[in-house]
Structure formats: structure tokens, C-alpha cells
């Protein structure tokens, strides 16, 4: 499975439909759950369900249901659970058990042997690592992959093929890393969603602590684990590392560094 391969995976509308199915005390069988979500045997619903079972959002022990870690809280409305879904997706996507390894050990341009969310994590980290003043934020697949081809090194590709760019923009928007219908990469919404956990009731924290916490929770941003791994894999002849004291995470808000 891969997140940004539209041909083989369901997208977030199917995921939302699956999440909103009323809970059953007997748990749903997989085919029954798919039937509830679609009038036909929809391959996208099936793919979405299989993907998010693998990632742990759903449990399939004795039938399928939302895993107890992510189920509705006591007295929580279904719409509120739906609003929490992007945060749950980020949590599972960035889990090291799902994101790593970012590249196959074979060194080939393939999805075989990588983490189930590695394609999205790798592509998103690379996009956020680009110069915000020169990167074509409204780029087509051709423009993005042409730039990537200049920066990649042997065995360290970013996009498996050109079609993955549209998949990246689709999931980036839902998880808070893209703004509006234009596909402009902008992590403001994802950052904003993490502020309450980072500040934990206080109003002021040192910028260094803020950036450390932020990069831990969103490791595709500056100084984050996946961001660093992707940056280290780029060709220095075509990609220049940012100064160590500058944050270049594309956000509209100030986050302790300079955009």
C-alpha cells in the first residue's frame, strides 16, 4: 500500500465514510461495512479500509470497528470525531512503524520494502524543504518531478512517478499541510492543531523548545526526523541547506525562526 498512489488506494472521503458508520456491538464484517458505505462493491472503499486497518485506525479482530484508541469519546458527537480525523491520520502517518524505511534497501525506484506511509512522508518533507521563494507551489506533476530529478541522489528518489504529485497534494490538504484548492504547500493548519499540546496551558515558551516540540510532533518540518533524513539525501549541487538558525517551514505564522 501507498498513500499517494491514487490507482491502488482509497482517499479521505472513503475514510470519512468508514469512520462515520454507526458502531455495532457485534462488529461489522468487512463486506458488510463496505456495503454500508457504498451502493456497489467499491474498490476505493475496500482499499481505504485495508490501508487504515494496516495503519491501526481500524481493528479487525472478530470483525471491523474503529480501534479503541481512536474511538468516539464519551458523549462525543460524530461530527467532532470526524473533525479529529486529520489529527489521527497525522499521528498514524508519522508513526515510525509506518513511515520507515523511507527508501527500499535495494536502491530501486519502487514501493517494495518501504514503510506504508513512506511515500507521502518523503514527498511532503521534500516539498517543505524547498526554497519558498523559488519553488513552484502551483506546479504540475511535470514541474515538481523535474525539480526532484535534479536534486535526487542514487537510490534516494522522492516521487516514484509523476502521478504521485497529485496524491501528495490531496493528502497534504486533508492533513493540514496545504492551503485551499490551489495545492499551495502550507503547514499552518497542521501547526495550529498542535499548539495546545505544545504550550500545555502556558502562554510563553522559548523558541528553541517550541521548534523542538513542533518538529517532534510534525517530523516533516524543519529539524524533524524525516525532514533531516530527506535533506541529507539531496544532491548539494542542486539543493542548498538552510542556515541552522532559520526555520523555513512555509507557515504563515511565526514559529521562532524566519520565513
pTM score, whole prediction: 0.86
Q: Is 93 exposed, middle or buried (0-12, 13-18, 19+ CB in 10 A)?
A: buried
Q: What's the pLDDT score for residue 234?
A: 96
- Spatial distance between the Cα atoms of 47 and 11, rounded to a whole number of angstroms: 9
Write phi, then psi, for 250 (nearest 5 degrees). 75, 5
* Tens-place pLDDT, residues 52-84: 999 999 988 777 888 999 988 889 998 999 999
Work out the pLDDT band at 258, boundaries 50, 70, 90.
very low
Q: CA 66, CA 53: separation in Å to the nearest integer?
A: 9
pLDDT at 248 over 90: no
Is the model's pLDDT at 90 over the cut of 90? yes
Lowest mean pLDDT among 89-103, 139-153, 164-178: 139-153
Q: What is the mean pLDDT of residues 39-43?
A: 64
| pLDDT tier for residue 253 given thresholds of 50, 70 and 90 | very low
**pLDDT (0 to 100) of residue 30:** 65
pLDDT in tens, 208-221: 999 999 999 999 99
Q: How far is residue 232's CA from residue 9's CA, in Å, rounded to a whole number? A: 29
Name residues whose C-beta falls within 8 Å of residue 212's C-beta, 6 or more positions apart in sequence.
223
Query: Of 33-42, 151-160, 165-174, 203-212, where does mean pLDDT reach its minimum?
Result: 33-42
Q: How far is CA 148 from the centre of its chain?
A: 19
Amino acid at each position: 500500500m501507498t498513500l499517494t498512489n491514487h490507482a491502488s488506494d482509497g482517499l479521505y472521503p472513503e475514510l470519512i465514510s468508514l469512520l462515520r458508520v454507526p458502531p455495532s456491538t457485534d462488529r461489522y464484517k468487512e463486506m458488510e461495512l463496505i456495503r454500508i458505505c457504498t451502493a456497489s462493491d467499491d474498490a476505493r472503499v475496500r482499499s481505504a479500509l485495508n490501508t487504515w486497518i494496516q495503519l491501526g485506525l481500524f481493528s479487525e479482530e472478530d470483525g471491523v470497528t474503529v480501534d479503541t484508541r481512536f474511538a468516539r469519546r464519551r458523549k462525543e458527537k460524530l461530527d467532532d470525531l470526524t473533525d479529529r480525523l486529520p489529527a489521527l491520520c497525522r499521528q498514524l502517518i508519522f508513526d515510525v512503524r509506518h513511515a520507515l524505511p523511507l527508501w527500499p534497501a535495494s536502491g530501486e525506484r519502487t514501493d517494495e520494502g518501504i514503510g506504508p506511509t513512506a511515500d507521502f512522508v518523503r514527498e511532503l518533507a521534500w516539498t517543505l524543504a524547498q526554497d519558498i521563494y523559488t519553488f513552484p507551489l502551483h506546479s504540475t506533476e511535470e514541474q515538481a518531478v523535474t525539480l526532484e530529478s535534479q536534486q535526487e541522489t542514487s537510490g534516494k528518489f522522492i516521487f516514484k512517478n509523476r502521478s504521485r504529485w497529485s496524491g501528495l497534494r490531496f493528502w497534504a490538504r486533508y492533513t493540514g499541510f496545504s492551503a485551499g484548492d490551489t495545492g499551495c504547500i502550507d503547514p499552518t493548519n497542521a501547526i495550529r492543531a498542535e499548539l495546545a499540546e505544545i504550550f500545555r496551558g502556558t502562554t510563553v515558551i522559548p523558541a528553541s523548545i517550541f521548534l523542538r516540540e513542533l518538529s517532534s510532533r510534525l517530523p516533516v518540518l524543519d529539524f524533524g526526523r524525516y525532514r533531516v533524513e530527506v535533506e541529507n539525501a539531496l544532491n548539494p549541487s542542486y539543493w542548498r541547506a538552510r542556515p541552522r538558525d532559520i526555520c523555513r517551514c512555509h507557515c504563515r505564522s511565526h514559529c521562532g525562526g524566519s520565513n
